[in-house]
Amino acid sequence: MNIIMLGAPGAGKGTQAKRLAEGYGIPHISTGDILRSNISRGTELGQKAKGFIDAGALVPDDLVIQLVADRLEEEDAKAGFIFDGFPRTIPQAQSLDQMLKEKGRKIEFAVNIDVPDQVIVERMSGRRFCINCGASYHTEYLKPQTEGVCDKCEGELALRKDDEPETVLKRLEVYHDQTEPLIAYYRNNGVLKEVDGTKEVAEILAEIRKQLGY
């Protein structure tokens, strides 16, 4: 089963992808993980990617596709995969489709977790992390026993810059401009499944599994 997870930043793609991967016995793959793995192993593709990253540039689509192709050749991905955060653009999706076609494979499901922008902003701007041990909290959904203090180590809790409302809104603008068109792309391909991402995690997971028929 070959699955792509779609949705805005903070929609819960990663959370659901991990649970689906565990349930279906297939790997949860992100391009970030692939890049880090290749760079740490010093592969030829990893060294090329590192050159772009060190220069502050985006890794080109053709190089990302090569990295993805190599990852899908690994034994654990032979029975399927779940992509989280990739593809991000229509050209990436088209390149992925072509690469999979050459391998006799295809995307079977694209799952869009739909969450309104305002809910995304509330979710992400409420996140807090411990600057000492890294533990995660939320001002509404996972409060510490003492406000601003980590339950585990009594370290100070802080808001990541990426989770500041202004930053979240900018990330959403990029998402709507570059990534949201993938919803129509996969709908036209007849593989799109959509779920309400404002429900509880377990409810969303159950709905996805129902829609996938597994």
Using CB atoms within 10 Å of the CB of residue 145, give its burial: 0 to 12 exposed, 13 to 18 middle, 19+ buried: exposed
Residue 98 within a domain: yes
**Structure-token pair, residue 196:** 């309400």
pLDDT number for residue 55: 85
What is the distance between the alpha carbons of residues 36 and 15, in angstroms, rounded to a whole number?
20
Q: What is the CATH number of the domain that holds 12?
A: 3.40.50.300
pLDDT number for residue 111: 98
Residue 84 within a domain: yes
Q: How many domains does the chain have?
A: 1
pLDDT number for residue 129: 95
pTM of the model: 0.86
pLDDT number for residue 141: 86
Q: Which residues span the domain enclosing 99?
A: 2-27+74-115+168-212
Active site residues: 13, 88, 127, 160, 171
Tell me the pLDDT of the chain (214 aa) as tens digits.
999 999 999 899 989 999 999 999 999 998 888 988 999 999 999 999 999 888 877 788 999 999 999 999 999 999 999 999 899 899 999 999 999 999 999 999 999 999 999 999 999 999 999 999 999 999 988 999 999 999 999 999 999 988 999 999 998 998 999 999 999 999 999 999 999 999 999 999 999 999 999 7
Output the DSSP codes for 30-84.
-HHHHHHHHHHHT-HHHHHHHHHHHTT-PPPHHHHHHHHHHHHTSGGGTT-EEEE
Residue 194 within a domain: yes
pLDDT number for residue 162: 85
Sequence-separated (6 or more) residues with CB below 8 Å from residue 82: 3, 4, 5, 17, 20, 21, 24, 26, 27, 28, 29
Residue 193 within a domain: yes
